């Protein structure tokens, strides 16, 4: 999905909740897979479904969400440890 998005400021990341359990708990993730969309540090949309998502479906979810369909100012660099 990261390779086919048309937006420069979109980033896709995966989190393994068996390893990052505290992060998943803070984000209230209990259904797998869960896809959360953030804009400027805030959750703007959540996709909960137990079915497989193709790369194109992930891109569509991100690019068609109204709150991020307009261009946002460049994001600040984020480092995930």
| DSSP secondary structure, 26-53, as one string | HTT--SSSEEEEEETTEEEEEEE-SS--
> What pTM was computed for the model?
0.60
List, in order, residues 6 or more apart from 27 with CB less than 8 Å away: 36, 43
Q: Where are the domains of the chain?
A: 1-69
Range picked from 55-59, 63-67, 73-77 for highest mean pLDDT: 55-59
Higher-scoring residue by pLDDT: 58, 51: 58
Q: At 9, is the secondary structure helix, strand, or coil?
A: coil
Cα angle: 35, vertex 59, 43; to 5 degrees: 40
Cα 21 from Cα 23, distance rounded (Å)? 5
């Amino acid at each position: 999905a990261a390779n086919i998005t048309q937006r420069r400021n979109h980033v896709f990341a995966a989190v393994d909740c068996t390893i990052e359990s505290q992060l998943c708990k803070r984000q209230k993730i209990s259904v797998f897979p869960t896809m959360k969309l953030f804009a400027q540090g805030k959750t703007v949309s959540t996709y909960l479904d137990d079915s497989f998502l193709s790369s194109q479906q992930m891109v569509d979810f991100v690019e068609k969400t109204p709150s991020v369909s307009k261009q946002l100012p460049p994001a600040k660099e984020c480092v995930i440890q």
